[in-house]
Structure 1
């Protein structure tokens, strides 16, 4: 069976398990999950969908029925579903429809963070890999293998690498404003232009102001204005305001003048609010949040790493991990290092270890068939199959995974392991440590995996019933 026919069959099986096309209101997808709004949750055959080829688990949360397929696979399944005439929708529409079924404000906000930041992560992943590769090839020890020294590297080559590593973070507000406009129903093009205005070369850069190389512009004698290179939260808030402004203005402006007045007024008002009110306020909020998180993670004796490593995968279960993207992005933008990634990798490896222990101890072939690939998926950085498909179902393995993650997080901070990027973890995450940290990073992952595996093997799994 060719790939096209294979995914067509998967889509047809998913539709059948969901109760037919008439039960599907709308559909979208994130990096790993097919996300659907359905009319009747009760008629869905969860067991049938879990047995669909390439499906790694299902769960219902925040008003959405979510099927885990994994990175890359979910895109192909989504396209096949479109080919079967299933209604697709924008993330904004999906969010609104989910809100009709789940009006919990906090959950809606978590969805918003995911919808805004997930689409820009691939660019940041690539940037992190570029940083890792540059760090590797510029190491004196590596250069010495070829009879070279750091002085042998040409200035033009360094400029080329800086373009690869600095562009995404230098223009980060552009990415954030674009994605925020898209999610909140504004025109993405206006989001791009507004983001570019926030990093206009006419403004002193935020980095030069922070290092006292340049003075900020002064308005009205007390408002300090500078560019927002590398800022996340101000661009996010300004993007929300800009998108809502555009929608409001479009309703008030006569249709004949919409093309002229709507973008003019949207950009003018949003930029004024952004530079003079929202930007300065939320830049300070951003600094406070980052300072608080950094303080916690840098608590002495590895305490911060132990705490975060222990709760990291519980955060994934709640969906809060999307909100934490903001913290990692800001860390990388400010310092070039991400101290969260190694802790996350250790906690993810721990869930892999727990799932593997379940697979090895289980007598049920079905349990094994889910546990083994789920463990491999977790080692590649995707834990939902292991968490929802295996560990949480048996209860104790998930707890043992949290313990393994806590110990791994402890060692990550004791060893001060920090990544050059984000969003790739465990085995792929090694690409973010192509420097003197690669051995400590591997050690953190092995510790998390080994402890969770051992605890699950000894205390955390007793097969009473088969997985359903």
Structure 2
């Protein structure tokens, strides 16, 4: 079935264009905001070609197509006359779900567009770590001292830029989500890391001092921070929208950006920044405390439960934690642990595919398992494991075992947002062999438990 035909059938099955408020997509899912959930023909959707699962969550009907495919289906849906997500996404988003779910979804909307550059930065970090290893240099008859200083400077440009100017990226995306002018968000974010301010890293290292306003408010740059830019972006976007309504059109172009940046720069540097940067430090310290729990408990718990959180759709909150770990400690132990949870789900799905005699289930399970091993578990979870229940729980056990080993071995990635096979690029140092080992263990446990105890073809009856 061609993508255009699939897109047409998706539109019809969700109740037609009249039932669709807007449509968007993430890495794997087509997210359709509908007016009436009852109008959706869910059975028809799940039986469509290339659909690996679907579910309804907080006003969105999310249809899993997988990476690459979802982009093509999304484009076809738009060409068929369905409106994409409006500029003011926060205002257009239906308010179903509790406050926590809505907050996490908003956080995800802000972070998802930023993730590609953070992924690229993590890969650059991994490659720099590989190329500067004495063992690797020795293969070419070189030593660390022989590396050209200008080359090292260039690698620092590649690895430091995204995190140094992270507030500008966050403020830009937040303004976009909340209906403000993204360019104002960029400038506001750049103000937070202005070279005129004491550098946050230098202040932390003791080589610079914060500017003390009124002798008790510390003013510094906010390099590598998230929450100050996020909160400033929300308030700034709402302020700009309010000004557009009250400022006469003749003066709008001049007055609105000026007043928005003036007010928000003062608020951000003197109030929002100090308060929420302190809160960030509390969250970071709590995360580090959890990861430092003895006897591998953190790995066991996080590795075992991470994919449950993926099912709930609130896993984007961990983007914030991973960014903070990277910017403040230079490494990301969280990545290796959650990688095991993903790998184990892939192992469980692979076991289903090998054990079943159903050609249709095999055709679904094998590509879904491959997707999980590439770091995208939704097709495996929603298309196979959760559908038959026990494979999902066997995968959770595998994730817990792998996470336990990762925690005990002290694995820590150089970046974020890539896992399992692609995640190897974050461990191109002395951690490479242990990283491969924990993934093989997670896959093996998920596979063996599912093959022996987690699935029988008799479960297909009545499905």
Shorter-chain TM-score: what band? over 0.9
CA–CA distance in structure 1, aligned partners of residues 123 and 87 of structure 2 = 28
2:33 counterpart of 1:54: no
* SS of 1:35 mapped into structure 2: strand
CA–CA distance in structure 2, aligned partners of residues 157 and 465 of structure 1 = 58
2:403 counterpart of 1:417: no
Deviation readout 1:123-143 (Å, 9 max, x if unpaired): 000000001111111111111
Matches within 5 A, 1:255-334: 255-334=249-328
2:455 counterpart of 1:458: no
CA–CA distance in structure 2, aligned partners of residues 393 and 52 of structure 1 = 16
Structure 1 residues 386 and 148: CA distance shift in structure 2, 3 A: same
- What is residue 18 of structure 1 aligned with on the other side? 14
Structure 1 residues 91 and 438: CA distance shift in structure 2, 3 A: farther
Q: Cα distance, 1:55 vs. partner?
A: 2.2
CA–CA distance in structure 1, aligned partners of residues 161 and 228 of structure 2 = 19
Alignment counterpart, residue 210 of structure 2, candidates 205, 216, 227: 216
Runs of 4+ in 1 over 6 A off after TM superposition: none
- What is residue 243 of structure 1 aligned with on the other side? 237
Q: Cα distance, 1:92 vs. partner?
A: 4.0
Structure 1 residues 211 and 58: CA distance shift in structure 2, 3 A: same
TM-score for both structures, normalised by structure 2? 0.96
TM-score for both structures, normalised by structure 1? 0.95
Matches within 5 A, 1:433-448: 433-448=427-442
Q: How many residues align?
A: 462
2:343 counterpart of 1:354: no
CA–CA distance in structure 2, aligned partners of residues 112 and 221 of structure 1 = 36
The CA RMSD measured in Å over matched residues stands at: 1.5
Asked whether the equivalents of residues 87 and 179 of structure 2 are also in contact (C-alpha less than 8 Å), the reply is no
Ranges in structure 2 where 5+ consecutive residues have no aligned partner:
none
Q: Cα distance, 1:367 vs. partner?
A: 2.1
* SS of 1:464 mapped into structure 2: helix
Structure 1 residues 306 and 244: CA distance shift in structure 2, 3 A: same
Asked whether the equivalents of residues 86 and 92 of structure 2 are also in contact (C-alpha less than 8 Å), the reply is no
CA–CA distance in structure 2, aligned partners of residues 405 and 269 of structure 1 = 48
Ranges in structure 1 where 5+ consecutive residues have no aligned partner:
none
Q: Cα distance, 1:368 vs. partner?
A: 2.0
CA–CA distance in structure 2, aligned partners of residues 441 and 249 of structure 1 = 52
* SS of 1:37 mapped into structure 2: strand
CA–CA distance in structure 2, aligned partners of residues 260 and 22 of structure 1 = 40
CA–CA distance in structure 1, aligned partners of residues 146 and 4 of structure 2 = 54
CA–CA distance in structure 1, aligned partners of residues 371 and 462 of structure 2 = 19
Asked whether the equivalents of residues 123 and 425 of structure 2 are also in contact (C-alpha less than 8 Å), the reply is yes
CA–CA distance in structure 2, aligned partners of residues 446 and 121 of structure 1 = 26
CA–CA distance in structure 2, aligned partners of residues 72 and 228 of structure 1 = 35
2:109 counterpart of 1:115: yes
Asked whether the equivalents of residues 91 and 115 of structure 1 are also in contact (C-alpha less than 8 Å), the reply is no
Structure 1 residues 233 and 202: CA distance shift in structure 2, 3 A: same
CA–CA distance in structure 1, aligned partners of residues 198 and 351 of structure 2 = 55
Deviation readout 1:380-429 (Å, 9 max, x if unpaired): 11111111111111111111111111111100111111111111110111
Q: Greater shift after overlay, 358-367 or 294-303?
A: 358-367
Asked whether the equivalents of residues 388 and 459 of structure 2 are also in contact (C-alpha less than 8 Å), the reply is no
Alignment counterpart, residue 35 of structure 1, candidates 16, 28, 31: 31
Q: Cα distance, 1:453 vs. partner?
A: 1.2
